[in-house]
A and B are shown apart, each in its own frame.
Chain A
Protein backbone atom coordinates (compact mmCIF):
# COMPACT_ATOMS: atom_id res chain seq x y z
CA UNK A 1 0.00 0.00 0.00
CA UNK A 2 1.64 3.21 -1.12
CA UNK A 3 0.66 6.19 1.02
CA UNK A 4 0.21 9.50 -0.73
CA UNK A 5 3.37 11.32 0.24
CA UNK A 6 1.53 14.63 0.68
CA UNK A 7 -0.61 13.18 3.44
CA UNK A 8 2.07 11.08 5.01
CA UNK A 9 3.02 12.47 8.35
CA UNK A 10 6.32 10.69 8.73
CA UNK A 11 6.03 10.26 12.48
CA UNK A 12 9.27 8.71 13.60
CA UNK A 13 8.18 5.98 15.89
CA UNK A 14 11.50 5.87 17.77
CA UNK A 15 12.04 7.79 21.04
CA UNK A 16 13.93 11.06 20.51
CA UNK A 17 17.44 10.99 22.02
CA UNK A 18 18.33 13.85 24.36
CA UNK A 19 20.68 15.70 22.02
CA UNK A 20 21.84 18.22 24.61
CA UNK A 21 22.71 15.52 27.13
CA UNK A 22 24.82 13.80 24.48
CA UNK A 23 26.45 17.14 23.68
CA UNK A 24 27.34 17.76 27.32
CA UNK A 25 28.73 14.23 27.54
CA UNK A 26 30.92 14.77 24.49
CA UNK A 27 32.19 18.10 25.77
CA UNK A 28 32.99 16.69 29.23
CA UNK A 29 34.73 13.64 27.75
CA UNK A 30 36.86 15.94 25.58
CA UNK A 31 37.96 17.91 28.65
CA UNK A 32 38.71 14.67 30.51
CA UNK A 33 40.79 13.47 27.57
CA UNK A 34 42.93 16.61 27.50
CA UNK A 35 43.41 16.27 31.27
CA UNK A 36 44.40 12.61 31.04
CA UNK A 37 46.88 13.36 28.27
CA UNK A 38 48.91 15.60 30.55
CA UNK A 39 48.31 13.80 33.83
CA UNK A 40 51.59 11.91 33.59
CA UNK A 41 50.15 8.43 33.91
CA UNK A 42 52.26 5.63 32.42
CA UNK A 43 52.48 5.56 28.62
CA UNK A 44 50.45 2.40 28.11
CA UNK A 45 47.83 3.47 30.66
CA UNK A 46 47.48 6.86 29.01
CA UNK A 47 47.05 5.32 25.56
CA UNK A 48 44.48 2.79 26.75
CA UNK A 49 42.45 5.40 28.65
CA UNK A 50 42.56 7.94 25.81
CA UNK A 51 41.63 5.40 23.12
CA UNK A 52 38.80 4.15 25.35
CA UNK A 53 37.46 7.70 25.80
CA UNK A 54 37.74 8.41 22.07
CA UNK A 55 35.86 5.22 21.18
CA UNK A 56 33.20 6.09 23.78
CA UNK A 57 32.69 9.52 22.19
CA UNK A 58 32.60 8.01 18.70
CA UNK A 59 29.96 5.49 19.79
CA UNK A 60 27.85 8.28 21.30
CA UNK A 61 27.93 10.19 18.01
CA UNK A 62 27.11 7.07 15.99
CA UNK A 63 24.27 5.88 18.24
CA UNK A 64 22.49 9.16 18.98
CA UNK A 65 23.46 11.72 16.33
CA UNK A 66 23.60 9.26 13.43
CA UNK A 67 20.53 7.56 14.91
CA UNK A 68 22.09 4.13 14.55
CA UNK A 69 20.36 3.16 17.77
CA UNK A 70 16.98 3.48 16.08
CA UNK A 71 17.77 1.85 12.76
CA UNK A 72 16.73 -1.68 11.67
CA UNK A 73 19.07 -4.44 12.97
CA UNK A 74 20.18 -5.30 9.44
CA UNK A 75 21.59 -1.82 8.93
CA UNK A 76 23.34 -1.92 12.30
CA UNK A 77 24.97 -5.24 11.39
CA UNK A 78 26.07 -3.81 8.05
CA UNK A 79 27.61 -0.78 9.76
CA UNK A 80 29.37 -2.72 12.49
CA UNK A 81 30.69 -5.45 10.17
CA UNK A 82 33.80 -3.67 8.81
CA UNK A 83 35.03 -2.45 12.21
CA UNK A 84 36.71 -5.76 13.22
CA UNK A 85 38.44 -5.75 9.84
CA UNK A 86 39.80 -2.28 10.49
CA UNK A 87 41.08 -3.42 13.88
CA UNK A 88 42.66 -6.56 12.41
CA UNK A 89 44.36 -4.50 9.69
CA UNK A 90 46.16 -2.30 12.20
CA UNK A 91 46.88 -5.08 14.69
CA UNK A 92 48.25 -7.48 12.08
CA UNK A 93 50.78 -4.99 10.79
CA UNK A 94 51.65 -3.79 14.30
CA UNK A 95 52.84 -7.27 15.20
CA UNK A 96 55.61 -6.82 12.61
CA UNK A 97 57.50 -4.60 15.06
Chain B
Protein backbone atom coordinates (compact mmCIF):
# COMPACT_ATOMS: atom_id res chain seq x y z
CA UNK B 1 0.00 0.00 0.00
CA UNK B 2 1.59 3.31 -1.03
CA UNK B 3 1.73 5.22 2.21
CA UNK B 4 3.17 8.41 0.93
CA UNK B 5 -0.12 9.58 -0.58
CA UNK B 6 -2.79 10.26 2.05
CA UNK B 7 -5.48 7.56 1.51
CA UNK B 8 -8.86 7.44 3.11
CA UNK B 9 -9.90 4.09 4.46
CA UNK B 10 -12.80 3.52 6.80
CA UNK B 11 -10.24 3.65 9.57
CA UNK B 12 -9.56 7.33 8.85
CA UNK B 13 -6.63 8.95 7.10
CA UNK B 14 -3.32 7.21 7.28
CA UNK B 15 -1.30 9.24 9.71
CA UNK B 16 2.36 9.82 8.83
CA UNK B 17 3.49 8.14 12.09
CA UNK B 18 2.95 4.40 11.73
CA UNK B 19 1.81 4.35 8.14
CA UNK B 20 -1.30 2.32 8.91
CA UNK B 21 -4.90 3.46 9.37
CA UNK B 22 -5.81 4.48 12.92
CA UNK B 23 -8.44 1.76 13.20
CA UNK B 24 -5.87 -0.95 12.54
CA UNK B 25 -3.27 0.68 14.79
CA UNK B 26 -5.82 0.90 17.58
CA UNK B 27 -6.66 -2.78 17.26
CA UNK B 28 -3.00 -3.77 17.28
CA UNK B 29 -2.37 -1.74 20.46
CA UNK B 30 -5.40 -3.41 22.06
CA UNK B 31 -4.15 -6.85 21.04
CA UNK B 32 -0.75 -6.10 22.58
CA UNK B 33 -2.44 -5.39 25.88
CA UNK B 34 -4.21 -8.72 25.47
CA UNK B 35 -0.82 -10.38 25.01
CA UNK B 36 0.14 -9.23 28.49
CA UNK B 37 -3.26 -10.26 29.85
CA UNK B 38 -2.93 -13.83 28.62
CA UNK B 39 0.77 -13.86 29.58
CA UNK B 40 -0.31 -13.24 33.15
CA UNK B 41 -2.84 -16.10 33.06
CA UNK B 42 -0.64 -18.61 31.24
CA UNK B 43 2.44 -17.50 33.15
CA UNK B 44 0.66 -18.09 36.44
CA UNK B 45 -0.35 -21.55 35.28
CA UNK B 46 3.22 -22.42 34.29
CA UNK B 47 4.58 -21.15 37.58
CA UNK B 48 1.97 -22.90 39.74
CA UNK B 49 2.50 -26.13 37.85
CA UNK B 50 6.28 -25.87 38.30
CA UNK B 51 5.77 -25.21 42.01
CA UNK B 52 3.24 -27.99 42.65
CA UNK B 53 3.43 -30.58 39.87
CA UNK B 54 1.46 -33.09 41.92
CA UNK B 55 -1.61 -30.81 41.88
CA UNK B 56 -1.91 -31.24 38.13
CA UNK B 57 -2.83 -34.32 36.06
CA UNK B 58 -0.85 -35.73 33.14
CA UNK B 59 -2.06 -34.98 29.60
CA UNK B 60 -5.18 -36.90 28.63
CA UNK B 61 -6.02 -38.10 32.13
CA UNK B 62 -8.63 -35.46 32.98
CA UNK B 63 -8.93 -33.38 29.82
CA UNK B 64 -10.27 -34.69 26.50
CA UNK B 65 -7.40 -34.19 24.05
CA UNK B 66 -9.02 -35.59 20.86
CA UNK B 67 -12.10 -33.40 21.35
CA UNK B 68 -10.05 -30.26 21.90
CA UNK B 69 -7.70 -31.14 19.04
CA UNK B 70 -10.80 -31.15 16.83
CA UNK B 71 -11.83 -27.83 18.38
CA UNK B 72 -8.39 -26.41 17.62
CA UNK B 73 -8.77 -27.52 14.01
CA UNK B 74 -12.20 -25.83 13.94
CA UNK B 75 -10.75 -22.53 15.11
CA UNK B 76 -7.94 -22.78 12.56
CA UNK B 77 -10.57 -23.34 9.86
CA UNK B 78 -12.44 -20.24 11.06
CA UNK B 79 -9.23 -18.25 10.68
CA UNK B 80 -9.06 -19.35 7.06
CA UNK B 81 -12.63 -18.35 6.36
CA UNK B 82 -12.02 -15.00 8.04
CA UNK B 83 -8.98 -14.28 5.90
CA UNK B 84 -10.89 -15.41 2.81
CA UNK B 85 -13.63 -12.92 3.68
CA UNK B 86 -11.06 -10.15 3.86
CA UNK B 87 -9.46 -11.22 0.60
CA UNK B 88 -12.90 -11.23 -1.04
CA UNK B 89 -13.75 -7.66 -0.11
CA UNK B 90 -10.27 -6.50 -1.09
CA UNK B 91 -11.37 -7.46 -4.58
CA UNK B 92 -14.84 -5.98 -4.18
CA UNK B 93 -16.51 -9.40 -3.99
CA UNK B 94 -19.56 -8.69 -1.80
CA UNK B 95 -21.07 -12.16 -2.11
CA UNK B 96 -17.79 -13.83 -1.18
CA UNK B 97 -17.46 -11.54 1.82
CA UNK B 98 -20.90 -12.50 3.12
CA UNK B 99 -20.49 -16.23 2.59
CA UNK B 100 -17.08 -16.41 4.22
CA UNK B 101 -18.23 -14.26 7.15
CA UNK B 102 -21.23 -16.55 7.69
CA UNK B 103 -18.89 -19.55 7.67
CA UNK B 104 -16.65 -17.85 10.25
CA UNK B 105 -19.59 -17.10 12.53
CA UNK B 106 -20.80 -20.70 12.24
CA UNK B 107 -17.42 -22.15 13.11
CA UNK B 108 -16.88 -19.75 15.96
CA UNK B 109 -20.23 -20.73 17.40
CA UNK B 110 -19.37 -24.43 16.97
CA UNK B 111 -16.12 -23.88 18.86
CA UNK B 112 -18.08 -22.43 21.77
CA UNK B 113 -20.55 -25.29 21.63
CA UNK B 114 -17.79 -27.88 21.83
CA UNK B 115 -16.18 -26.00 24.72
CA UNK B 116 -19.50 -25.88 26.60
CA UNK B 117 -19.94 -29.61 26.01
CA UNK B 118 -16.40 -30.21 27.31
CA UNK B 119 -17.12 -28.20 30.47
CA UNK B 120 -20.33 -30.13 31.15
CA UNK B 121 -18.49 -33.44 30.84
CA UNK B 122 -15.65 -32.26 33.10
CA UNK B 123 -18.02 -31.07 35.81
CA UNK B 124 -19.88 -34.39 35.56
CA UNK B 125 -16.59 -36.08 36.35
CA UNK B 126 -16.07 -33.86 39.38
CA UNK B 127 -13.48 -31.58 37.81
CA UNK B 128 -14.65 -28.26 39.17
CA UNK B 129 -12.80 -25.00 39.81
CA UNK B 130 -12.39 -24.79 43.55
CA UNK B 131 -13.48 -27.91 45.36
CA UNK B 132 -10.72 -29.50 47.42
CA UNK B 133 -11.78 -33.10 46.95
CA UNK B 134 -11.85 -34.35 43.38
CA UNK B 135 -13.55 -37.29 41.80
CA UNK B 136 -11.06 -36.89 38.95
CA UNK B 137 -7.29 -36.68 39.40
CA UNK B 138 -5.79 -33.26 39.97
CA UNK B 139 -6.22 -30.72 42.76
CA UNK B 140 -8.23 -27.52 43.20
CA UNK B 141 -5.34 -25.60 41.67
CA UNK B 142 -5.73 -27.53 38.42
CA UNK B 143 -9.40 -26.70 38.12
CA UNK B 144 -8.95 -23.08 39.09
CA UNK B 145 -6.22 -22.43 36.53
CA UNK B 146 -7.89 -24.48 33.80
CA UNK B 147 -11.27 -22.79 34.03
CA UNK B 148 -9.71 -19.33 34.40
CA UNK B 149 -7.61 -19.60 31.28
CA UNK B 150 -10.04 -21.42 29.02
CA UNK B 151 -12.96 -19.46 30.45
CA UNK B 152 -11.41 -16.11 29.63
CA UNK B 153 -10.48 -17.35 26.18
CA UNK B 154 -14.03 -18.58 25.69
CA UNK B 155 -15.30 -15.15 26.71
CA UNK B 156 -13.05 -13.60 24.07
CA UNK B 157 -14.39 -16.00 21.45
CA UNK B 158 -17.97 -15.18 22.47
CA UNK B 159 -17.32 -11.47 22.09
CA UNK B 160 -15.66 -12.22 18.77
CA UNK B 161 -18.67 -14.17 17.49
CA UNK B 162 -21.04 -11.38 18.52
CA UNK B 163 -18.83 -8.81 16.79
CA UNK B 164 -18.64 -11.03 13.71
CA UNK B 165 -22.43 -11.20 13.60
CA UNK B 166 -22.52 -7.40 13.62
CA UNK B 167 -19.91 -7.21 10.86
CA UNK B 168 -21.89 -9.76 8.84
CA UNK B 169 -25.08 -7.74 9.22
CA UNK B 170 -23.23 -4.67 7.95
CA UNK B 171 -21.84 -6.72 5.08
CA UNK B 172 -25.38 -7.72 4.07
CA UNK B 173 -26.31 -4.02 4.26
CA UNK B 174 -23.56 -3.35 1.74
CA UNK B 175 -21.52 -1.19 4.11
CA UNK B 176 -18.19 -2.58 2.93
CA UNK B 177 -16.65 -1.88 -0.43
CA UNK B 178 -13.35 -2.45 -2.13
CA UNK B 179 -12.28 1.05 -1.13
CA UNK B 180 -13.69 0.96 2.40
CA UNK B 181 -13.45 -2.24 4.48
CA UNK B 182 -11.43 -1.28 7.53
CA UNK B 183 -14.00 -2.89 9.81
CA UNK B 184 -13.51 -6.31 8.21
CA UNK B 185 -9.74 -6.09 8.49
CA UNK B 186 -9.87 -5.01 12.13
CA UNK B 187 -12.30 -7.78 12.98
CA UNK B 188 -9.97 -10.20 11.25
CA UNK B 189 -7.04 -9.09 13.40
CA UNK B 190 -9.05 -9.75 16.56
CA UNK B 191 -10.29 -13.11 15.35
CA UNK B 192 -6.84 -14.33 14.31
CA UNK B 193 -5.48 -13.22 17.66
CA UNK B 194 -8.11 -15.31 19.46
CA UNK B 195 -7.02 -18.25 17.32
CA UNK B 196 -3.37 -17.55 18.10
CA UNK B 197 -4.02 -17.54 21.86
CA UNK B 198 -5.86 -20.85 21.61
CA UNK B 199 -2.92 -22.37 19.72
CA UNK B 200 -0.70 -21.56 22.72
CA UNK B 201 -3.34 -22.57 25.29
CA UNK B 202 -4.10 -25.90 23.63
CA UNK B 203 -0.45 -26.86 23.72
CA UNK B 204 0.35 -25.74 27.25
CA UNK B 205 -2.88 -26.80 28.96
CA UNK B 206 -3.85 -29.96 27.11
CA UNK B 207 -0.64 -31.46 25.72
CA UNK B 208 1.99 -30.78 28.37
The residues of A with any CB-CB pair to B shorter than 8 Å are 1-3, 5-6, 8-10, 12-14, 16, 19-20, 22-23, 26-27, 30-31, 33-34, 36-38, 46-47, 50-51, 53-55, 57-58, 61-62, 65-66, 71-72, 74-75, 78-79, 81-83, 85-86, 89-90, 93-94, 96-97
Binding site for A on B (CB under 8 A): 1-3, 5-9, 13, 17-20, 25, 28-29, 32, 35-36, 39-40, 42-43, 46-47, 50-51, 59-60, 65-66, 69, 72-73, 76-77, 79-80, 82-84, 87, 90, 178-180, 188-189, 192-193, 195-196, 199-200, 202-204, 206-208
Contact of B25 among A75, A81, A86 (CB under 8 A): A75
Q: Given known contacts A3-B8, A62-B192, A93-B47, what 13 new A-B pairs fall within 8 Å (CB)?
A: A8-B8, A8-B179, A10-B9, A26-B76, A26-B79, A37-B207, A51-B208, A55-B200, A61-B195, A62-B196, A65-B79, A74-B17, A93-B43
Asked if residues B203 and A33 are in contact (CB atoms below 8 Å), the reply is yes
In Å, the complex CA distance between A41 and B84 comes to 38
A residues less than 8 Å from B51 (CB atoms) = 96-97
Residues A38 and B18 in contact, CB atoms below 8 Å apart: no
**Chief secondary structure at chain B's binding surface:** helix
Q: Are A72 and B179 in contact, with the CB atoms below 8 A?
A: no
* B199 contacts A58, C-beta separation under 8 Å: yes
Closest chain B residue to A74 by CB distance? B18
Q: B18, A5: Cβ atoms under 8 Å?
A: no
> Is the pair A50, B208 in contact by a Cβ cutoff of 8 Å?
yes
Q: How far is the CA of A13 from the CA of B2 in the complex (A)?
A: 7
